[in-house]
A = this chain, B = another copy of it.
C-alpha cells in the first residue's frame, strides 16, 4: 500500500507532472524524480524530491512509480528501454502510466511487467493544467484490481474522480472515448461561433443564450470565450490532441468502427498544425474557421 511517508518515483515533470508531484509532496510522500530536461524538476528538488538520472533510478526503493511523459514512444522508452522501469523495479512495485498513450502499448507494458512480478496500470487523466494544479483531475484506470486498490489513495491525492475502468488498456481506451467527445463538441463550438459572427450577431450575447441549455458543452462554455478574446495559448496543445486522435482513430480501425466526426476533427487539426498551430491551445481550431480553411 502506497501510503504517505512511502517513496514514490515520478517520471515526467512537465506542466502536468510538476503540479501532480507537488500535491504528492504536500500529502507527505517522499519523491524520487526524473525528467528529460532536468531544470523542469528543479522546483520539486528544491522542495525535497531526490533527483534521479534515469527512470530506473527513480524506482529505487519505491512503493510505486508514476509516469506522465509526451508520446507513446516516450512511454516505450521509459518502461521498456535500457534502465527502464520494468527492468529496474523490484517485484511488487506498482508502475502507473498517466500519459495519454496507446491502449495496445499499455497492454504490452502490462504484460512485460507481469512477467517479472511488476504490476503496471494505465491511468491517463483529463482536466488539463488547471485540473492538475487544483488537484481536480479525472483519472481513468486500467489494470489489475489488487494493484489498483494499493495505489487508489495515492491517485486520489491528484483528483477526486478515480475509476478502475477495466483490465490493462481500459484506462487508455476510456481516455480515447473522452477525447472523441471533445473533438465533436469543439467542432460544434467553433462552428456555432463562426456562424454567429458571420450572421452579424453579438457572439458574447449569443453565448448567454446557447450555453444555457441543450447546446452547451464544456468546450463551448470554457473555450468559446477564449476564442472570442483571441486567446489561443495552451492549455491543451494542438500537437498533443492530434497524437490522441491518431491513436483513437487507429484503434477504431482495428475495431472496425467508423467515426467520421473524429476523422473530420483530426483532418482539421492536422491542417491547423500545418499552418503553424501545433503549439497553440486546442481552441485555436477557431482560427481555421476565421481563415476560411475549414472545408470538409
- A188 contacts which of B131, B188, B294 (Cβ < 8 Å)? B188
Q: What CA separation (Å) do A262 and B189 show in the bound complex?
A: 11
Given known pairs A192-B180, A210-B126, the reply for A251 and B199 (CB within 8 Å) is: yes
Q: Is the CB of B257 within 8 A of A209?
A: no
Contacts of A260 in B (CB 8 A): 187, 264, 268, 294-296
Q: What CA separation (Å) do A84 and B28 show in the bound complex?
A: 75
On chain A, the number of residues with a Cβ less than 8 Å from chain B's Cβ atoms is 74
Contacts of A252 in B (CB 8 A): 195, 198
Q: What CA separation (Å) do A271 and B295 show in the bound complex?
A: 21
- A217 contacts which of B217, B256, B264 (Cβ < 8 Å)? B217
Residue among A188, A206, A219, A294 with the highest chain B CB neighbour number at 10 A:
A188
Chain copies in the assembled complex: 2
- A206 contacts which of B165, B187, B193, B222 (Cβ < 8 Å)? B165
Q: What CA separation (Å) do A257 and B196 show in the bound complex?
A: 11
Closest to A248 in B: B195
Q: Is the CB of B209 within 8 A of A174?
A: yes
Judged by DSSP, the binding face of A is helix
Q: Is the CB of A177 within 8 A of B163?
A: no
Q: What CA separation (Å) do A266 and B177 show in the bound complex?
A: 23
Q: Is the CB of A177 within 8 A of B165?
A: no
Contacts of A186 in B (CB 8 A): 184
Identify the A interface with B (CB < 8 A).
103, 126-128, 131, 138, 140, 161, 163, 165-166, 170, 173-174, 176-196, 198-202, 205-206, 208-210, 212-220, 222, 248, 251-252, 255-264, 268, 289, 292, 294-296
